């Protein structure tokens, strides 16, 4: 493996809970192919909202070419180690003018009970469109991955992508993830993050790719019909994987 991020950048990630990779992850040809797959998924979504295109690789195995690629796994390995599980992916598209806000949350809170630990889970957020403050880019509260689970309160699902938000957030501490198409961010599953609504005329779409270290036990009874893949290395926890054909 040739590491795409340096030891200093990994140290920054561990301290702050995130890192912005401001380089193209894939070639222009690969990005065009991924974008085409996304546009197909968007066209076929029916009455689903554009931000609800969850686990598209369950339906479309063409996405495994990207999720299991060296371009992606070489970003993940320096952070969680050489034994890697592909846990999930999600197209998150905020339509112009009406893309809902994403309330403050920790991914780990929504997965509570599904794993035996949460300390080595990383999400890559790959920008398909330009992502900036104007169209509701992701933002995080640095260092909050060290704090454990937070306290939540209910919010209106008509204007939010989730039903609850974390209480008492100091938004002045937020770091905004502004990315060009093809660039990505990486964040710890425990960090507090969210996004404002997209009130701009510009669509904001990203592809999330979520990975666990393979010494993490995925609890079978809490993950019925879920598909996980051993992306790289060896299984360390006795999980059941989907075979990659």
Q: How far apart are CA 222 and CA 121, in angstroms?
A: 17
Task: Write the pLDDT tens digit of every residue in 120-140.
Answer: 999 999 999 999 999 999 999
Q: Which of 12-16, 19-23, 97-101, 180-184 has the lowest mean pLDDT?
A: 97-101
What confidence category does residue 10 fall into, taking pLDDT thresholds of 50, 70 and 90? very high
Angle at 211 between CA 181 and CA 208, to 5 degrees: 30
Q: How far apart are CA 67 and CA 73, in angstroms?
A: 8
pTM of the model: 0.94
What confidence category does residue 157 fall into, taking pLDDT thresholds of 50, 70 and 90? confident
What confidence category does residue 244 fall into, taking pLDDT thresholds of 50, 70 and 90? confident
Residue 2 has pLDDT above 60, yes or no: no
Task: Write the pLDDT tens digit of every residue in 174-184.
Answer: 999 999 999 99
Whether residue 84 contacts residue 231, with contact meaning beta carbons closer than 8 Å, is answered with: yes
Q: How far apart are CA 195 and CA 241, in angstroms?
A: 33
C-alpha distance from residue 35 to each of 74, 205, 206, 225 (Å): 21, 10, 10, 27
Residue 47 has pLDDT above 90, yes or no: no
What is residue 160's predicted lDDT score, i.e. its pLDDT? 87
Spatial CA neighbour of 193 closest among 122, 113, 120, 115: 122
- Quickly list DSSP for 49-82: -GGGEE-HHHH-GGGHHHHTSHHHHHHHHHHH-S
At 41 the three-state DSSP class reads helix
Residue 3 has pLDDT above 80, yes or no: no
Q: How far apart are CA 55 and CA 107, in angstroms?
A: 15
What's 7-232's CATH class?
A: mainly beta
Q: How far apart are CA 198 and CA 134, in angstroms?
A: 7
Q: Extract the tokens encoding 177.
A: 């993830």
């Amino acid at each position: 493996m040739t590491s795409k991020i340096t030891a200093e950048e990994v140290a920054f990630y561990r301290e702050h809970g995130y890192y912005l990779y401001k380089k193209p992850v894939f070639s222009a040809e690969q990005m065009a192919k991924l974008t085409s797959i996304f546009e197909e998924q968007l066209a076929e979504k029916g009455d689903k909202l554009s931000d609800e295109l969850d686990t598209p690789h369950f339906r479309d195995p063409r996405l495994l070419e990207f999720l299991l690629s060296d371009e992606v796994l070489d970003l993940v390995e320096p952070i969680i180690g050489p034994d890697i599980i592909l846990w999930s992916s999600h197209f998150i598209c905020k339509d112009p003018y009406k893309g809902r806000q994403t309330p403050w949350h920790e991914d780990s809170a929504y997965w509570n009970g599904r794993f035996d630990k949460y300390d080595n889970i990383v999400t890559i957020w790959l920008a398909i469109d330009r992502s900036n403050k104007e169209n509701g880019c992701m933002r995080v509260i640095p260092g909050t991955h060290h704090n454990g689970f937070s306290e939540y309160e209910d919010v209106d699902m008509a204007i939010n992508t989730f039903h609850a938000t974390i209480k008492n957030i100091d938004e002045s501490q937020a770091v905004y993830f502004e990315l060009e198409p093809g660039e990505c961010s990486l964040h710890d599953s425990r960090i507090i993050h969210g996004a404002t609504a997209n009130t701009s005329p510009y669509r904001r779409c990203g592809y999330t790719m979520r990975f666990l270290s393979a010494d993490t036990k995925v609890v079978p009874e809490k993950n019925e019909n879920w598909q996980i893949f051993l992306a790289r290395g060896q299984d360390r926890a006795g999980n059941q994987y989907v075979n990659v054909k």
